[in-house]
């Protein structure tokens, strides 16, 4: 392992440097010595217009989801737990034993939000951050330990149940919140509290300490982030140590096998994602962070290999991960049932975070493709239109007569969960979203995600402002205008061409330019002048997507997609006498667009109108001789809505994968 590199509290002069010169306010900011091709922008450097889809999501998160989470931390007892741990209240411990982590995730989300807010705005959120930071200070033990469950309920068991306790997991989220607060310049004292805890961890688990790892990864990536912010090498070393200690059978207790904890094989030797999907993805994030900061290319390659395995054998078309309800786990290769998809929201979020880290490290467009897919589908579906209800599990099919409900296999977004990991995790992702649209590199700027926004960046020390206007993902036209001076030296504006895009055109000031994208990015290099406008037009055909033939669960089916959006059918859009399970898509008939003034659950801007049939099956026999062909069919017009908007109308069946009639050819492409 390479020696940890020194860091400083401020990011060195770099292309992505914010105009103010302050610490870059974004998650997963590589240190100046890190391996990596791209450099992120701060969340305040990309201001999303409120009318674009990403801007709507961002604003909804700030105005609805984040206040909702703050409120629920109070009503669900999370803050009460901390008050009791501080000796200020009598409350019996409430909720999951790792309930503190919900507080930390919300603090992190609030910090990213405040990093992009004007100093006088968001007074309530500022008060929440300040008050909670002060509360945490009072709940923290003199030695730096901070965990309300083990303080209140099992004080004698501190550090004694690493497979189960989530103590380091909670510590990790505290650290991530503190890093966010530190980068955002809010939460006075939170960073010091986190460091006191982190120093305790270094003393206990460091090279001179015990050989233990946490059953739920998270501490690894958090410690790297803390190292990045503070430059304190032992944090990075401890993160690397946790990675290296994994896979040595330290987590053998309890009903789960070691694979559940990714403790069955050393991470750098792993060939397949395994076990609890969120744990796997959080571990992967830690692996990437350690690898890029230590220059450990073998570990980075291992992380890339696991990402490939997940994406090529165990990822839903929505970008979701985790095929099994049992153990919330990855399954066997190609085991991707749409109905029993567990597809936990947190796994989707973690997948987004891992792809982002690999994108920064490598600059490869496929990681941005994956970010976009999971964001617009598996992540977006988890939040209700009003921002205050959430899915925990995100199946791709719900049947007529669905058995499930409550928190298990729910067909309704719920305001909160007994295990409420997902809602505040969504809050922190959406609060940090602006920072993920664009990056800097040595050549200039790259745009990865398209949304109406103003991007402020420094290119080779020269401030550059770019206006991006688009109706994406509803329309493929993206207009980018340089507003203001952009320096006298040439630099490259790189625009991602998504892998699903079959054709596109690029105009610069109205003039078509030849724009190849062999690696997934169109590169326009020139001296940029104020007012220069680039128009990228991505063709957004409706695509009938089929799955790899080994995905048995969706054989003979197609999914309708357009751009990054996966669409689905809902019972609510069928004639009263038609049952969704009996619907067949005619794959040879054209699919046309229907436009509406959305967005809203009832009137998305673009719905897809397809042709199909309903098949009437005679008899109730579950099995019959195959040779008896036939079946009466009735033509039906099908209306497909964006998957992320399903479940807002009458309760009923939904499906992403539609049986095609005639069946689509198996293909080799």
* Interface with a copy of itself in residues 191-230 (CB under 8 A): none
- Among residues 488, 511, 630, 650, the one that binds a copy of itself under rule CB under 8 A: 630
Tell me the window of 26-34, 146-154, 427-435, 652-660 that interacts with a copy of itself (CB under 8 A): 652-660
Q: State yes or no: residue 46 binds a copy of itself (CB under 8 A).
A: no
CB atoms within 10 A of CB 512: 10
SS3 132: helix
Residues 6+ apart with CB under 8 A from 668: none
CB 496 within 8 A of CB 447: yes
Q: Using CB under 8 A, pick the residue from 338, 435, 444, 476 that binds a copy of itself.
A: 338
Choose the catalytic residue: 220, 225, 328, 344. Answer: 328
Give, in order, the Cα–Cα distances in Å from 252 to each of 35, 150, 257, 264. Answer: 34, 21, 7, 10
CA distances from 470 to 476, 480, 538 (A): 8, 9, 11
| Residue nearer to a copy of itself on the CB measure, 86 or 545 | 545
**Out of 13, 51, 509, 552, the residue judged to bind a copy of itself by CB under 8 A:** 552
Task: Tell me whether residue 576 or residue 669 sits nearer to a copy of itself (CB atom).
Answer: 669
Both tokens of residue 431?
């609060």
Q: How far apart are CA 220 and CA 542, in angstroms?
A: 41
Q: Which of 90, 207, 208, 326 touches a copy of itself by CB under 8 A?
A: 326
CB of 96 to a copy of itself, least distance (A): 13
Q: Does 42 bind a copy of itself (CB under 8 A)?
A: no
Based on CB atoms, which residue is closest to a copy of itself, 597 or 667?
667
CA distances from 348 to 344, 354, 429 (A): 7, 10, 11
Radius of gyration of the chain (CA): 25
In whole angstroms, the minimum distance from the beta carbon of 632 to a copy of itself comes to 7
Which of 69, 170, 214, 421 is an active site residue? Answer: 421
Between 600 and 619, how does the x/- string for binding to a copy of itself read (CB under 8 A)?
---------------xxxxx
Interface pattern 274-313 for a copy of itself (x via CB under 8 A):
x---------------------------------x--xxx
Phi-psi region of 351 (alpha: psi -120 to 50; beta: other; left: phi over 0): alpha
Contacts of 621 (CB under 8 A, 6+ apart): none
Contact 661, 585 (CB under 8 A): yes
Cβ nearer to a copy of itself, comparing 68 with 584: 584
Nearer to a copy of itself, 603 or 663 (CB): 663
- φ/ψ of residue 134, rounded to 5: -65, -40
Q: Which of 118, 120, 156, 665 binds a copy of itself (CB under 8 A)?
A: 665
Binding mask 631-650 for a copy of itself (x = CB under 8 A): xx------------------
Q: How far is CA 573 from the centre of its chain?
A: 29
User: Which residue lies nearer to a copy of itself by CB, 166 or 399?
Assistant: 399
Query: In the set 128, 242, 282, 330, which binds a copy of itself (CB under 8 A)?
Result: 330
How far is 27 from 428, CA to CA, in rounded Å?
10
| Contact string 385-424 vs a copy of itself (x = CB under 8 A) | ------------x-xxxxxxxx-x----------------
Element (H, E) at 291: helix 277-294
Least spacing, CB of residue 546 vs a copy of itself, in Å: 4
| Residues 663, 669: Cα–Cα separation, whole Å | 17
Minimum distance of a copy of itself from residue 159's CB (angstroms): 27
Contact region with a copy of itself (CB under 8 A), list: 34-42, 504-512, 515-523, 622-630: 622-630
- In the bound state with a copy of itself, the residue whose beta carbon lies nearer, of 210 and 593, is 593
- Shortest Cβ 241–a copy of itself spacing (Å): 28
Restricting to residues 556-595, name those near a copy of itself by CB under 8 A.
556-559, 581-582, 584, 587
Among residues 8, 20, 75, 332, the one that binds a copy of itself under rule CB under 8 A: 332
72 to 344, 427, 520, 561: CA distances (angstroms): 20, 13, 42, 36
Question: Closest distance between a copy of itself and the C-beta of residue 183, in Å?
Answer: 36
In angstroms, what is the minimal distance from the CB of 287 to a copy of itself? 20
Site string for a copy of itself, 529-548 (x = CB under 8 A): --------------xxxxxx
Known catalytic membership, residue 328 = yes
> How many angstroms separate the CA atoms of 420 and 60, rounded?
19
List Cβ neighbours of 466 (8 Å cut-off, separation of 6 or more): 445, 454, 455, 457, 480, 481, 482, 483, 493
| Residue 613 contacts residue 602 (beta carbons within 8 Å) | no
Instruction: Decide if 364 contacts 553 (C-beta within 8 A).
Output: no
* Shortest separation between residue 587's beta carbon and a copy of itself, angstroms: 7
Spatial distance between the Cα atoms of 10 and 460, rounded to a whole number of angstroms: 17
Question: Which strand (E) or helix (H) includes residue 172?
Answer: helix 167-184
Q: Between residue 447 and residue 476, which ones bind a copy of itself under the rule CB under 8 A? A: none
The single residue among 340, 389, 413, 469 that binds a copy of itself, judged by CB under 8 A, is 340
Question: Under the criterion CB under 8 A, does residue 249 sit at the interface with a copy of itself?
Answer: no
Total residues contacting a copy of itself by CB under 8 A comes to 84
Beta bridge partners of 538: 504
Going along 225-365, which residue ranges are E strands? none
Please provide residue 634's backbone torsions phi and psi, each rounded to the nearest 5 degrees: -125, 130
The verdict on 506 binding a copy of itself (CB under 8 A) reads no
Q: In the complex with a copy of itself, which residue's Cβ is closer, 332 or 637?
A: 332
For tokens 């479940």, name the residue.
Answer: 647
Beta-carbon contacts of 333 under 8 Å, excluding residues fewer than 6 positions away, are 272, 313, 314, 550
Binding-site member from 553, 569, 574, 636 for a copy of itself (CB under 8 A): 553
| Phi, psi of 651, rounded to the nearest 5 degrees | -60, 130
Q: How is residue 509 annotated by DSSP?
A: T
Structure-token match 């998504």, residue found: 498
- CB nearer a copy of itself, residue 455 or residue 560: 560
**144 lies in the site for a copy of itself, by CB under 8 A:** no
Using the minimum distance from each CB to a copy of itself, give the nearer residue, 339 or 537. Answer: 339
Catalytic residues: 328, 421
């Amino acid at each position: 392992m390479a020696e940890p590199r020194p860091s400083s509290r401020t990011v060195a002069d770099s292309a992505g440097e914010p105009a103010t010169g302050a610490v870059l306010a974004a998650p997963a900011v590589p240190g100046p010595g890190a391996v990596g091709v791209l450099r992120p922008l701060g969340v305040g450097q990309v201001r999303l217009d409120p009318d674009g889809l990403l801007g709507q999501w961002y604003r909804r998160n700030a105005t609805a989801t984040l206040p909702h989470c703050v409120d629920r931390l109070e009503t669900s007892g999370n803050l009460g737990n901390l008050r009791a741990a501080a000796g200020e209240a009598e409350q019996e411990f409430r909720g999951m034993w790792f309930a503190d982590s919900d507080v930390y995730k919300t603090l992190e989300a609030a910090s990213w939000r405040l990093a992009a807010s004007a100093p006088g705005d968001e007074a309530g959120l500022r008060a929440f951050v300040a008050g909670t930071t002060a509360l945490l200070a009072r709940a923290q033990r003199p030695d730096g330990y901070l965990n309300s469950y083990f303080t209140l309920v099992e004080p004698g068991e501190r550090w004694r149940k690493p497979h189960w306790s989530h103590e380091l997991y909670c510590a990790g989220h505290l650290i991530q919140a503190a890093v966010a607060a530190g980068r955002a310049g809010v939460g006075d004292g939170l960073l010091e509290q986190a460091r006191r805890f982190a120093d305790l961890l270094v003393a206990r688990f460091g090279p001179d300490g015990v050989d233990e790892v946490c059953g739920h990864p998270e501490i690894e990536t958090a410690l790297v982030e803390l190292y990045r912010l503070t430059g304190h090498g032992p944090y990075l070393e401890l993160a690397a140590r946790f990675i290296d200690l994994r896979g040595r059978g330290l987590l053998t207790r309890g009903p789960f096998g070691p694979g559940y904890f990714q403790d069955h094989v050393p991470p750098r030797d792993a060939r397949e994602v395994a076990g609890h999907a969120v744990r796997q993805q959080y571990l992967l994030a830690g692996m990437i962070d350690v690898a890029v900061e230590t220059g450990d290319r073998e570990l980075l390659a291992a992380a890339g290999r696991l990402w490939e395995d997940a994406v090529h054998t165990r990822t839903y078309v929505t970008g979701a991960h985790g095929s099994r309800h049992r153990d919330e786990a990855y399954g066997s290769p190609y085991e991707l049932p749409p109905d029993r998809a567990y597809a936990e929201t947190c796994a989707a979020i973690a997948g987004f975070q891992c792809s982002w880290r690999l994108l920064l490290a490598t600059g490869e467009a496929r990681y941005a493709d994956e970010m976009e897919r999971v964001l617009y589908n598996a992540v977006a579906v988890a939040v209700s239109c009003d921002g205050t209800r959430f899915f925990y599990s995100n199946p791709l099919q719900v049947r007529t007569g669905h058995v499930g409900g409550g928190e298990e296999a729910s067909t309704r977004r719920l305001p909160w969960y007994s295990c409420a990991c997902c809602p505040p995790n969504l809050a922190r992702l959406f609060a940090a979203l602006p920072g993920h649209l664009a990056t800097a590199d040595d050549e200039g700027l790259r745009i990865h995600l398209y949304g109406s926004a103003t991007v402020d960046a420094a290119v080779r020390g020269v401030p550059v402002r770019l206006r991006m206007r688009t109706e994406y993902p509803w329309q493929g036209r993206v207009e980018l205008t340089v507003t203001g001076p952009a320096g006298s030296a040439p630099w490259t504006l790189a625009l991602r061409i998504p892998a699903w895009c079959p054709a596109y055109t690029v105009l610069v000031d109205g003039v078509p330019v030849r724009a190849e994208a062999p690696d997934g990015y169109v590169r326009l290099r020139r001296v940029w002048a104020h007012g220069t406008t680039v128009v990228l037009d991505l063709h957004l055909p409706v695509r009938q997507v089929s799955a790899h033939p080994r995905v048995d669960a969706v054989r003979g089916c197609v999914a309708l997609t357009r751009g990054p959006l996966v669409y689905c059918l809902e019972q609510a859009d069928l004639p009263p006498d038609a049952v969704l399970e009996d619907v067949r898509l005619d794959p040879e008939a054209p699919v046309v667009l229907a436009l509406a003034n959305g967005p809203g659950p009832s009137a998305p801007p673009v719905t897809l109108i397809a042709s199909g049939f309903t098949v009437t099956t005679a008899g109730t026999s579950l099995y019959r001789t195959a040779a008896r062909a036939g079946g009466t069919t009735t033509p039906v017009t099908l209306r497909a809505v964006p998957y992320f908007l399903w479940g807002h109308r009458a309760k009923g069946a939904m499906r992403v994968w539609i049986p095609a009639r005639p069946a689509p050819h198996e293909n080799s492409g």
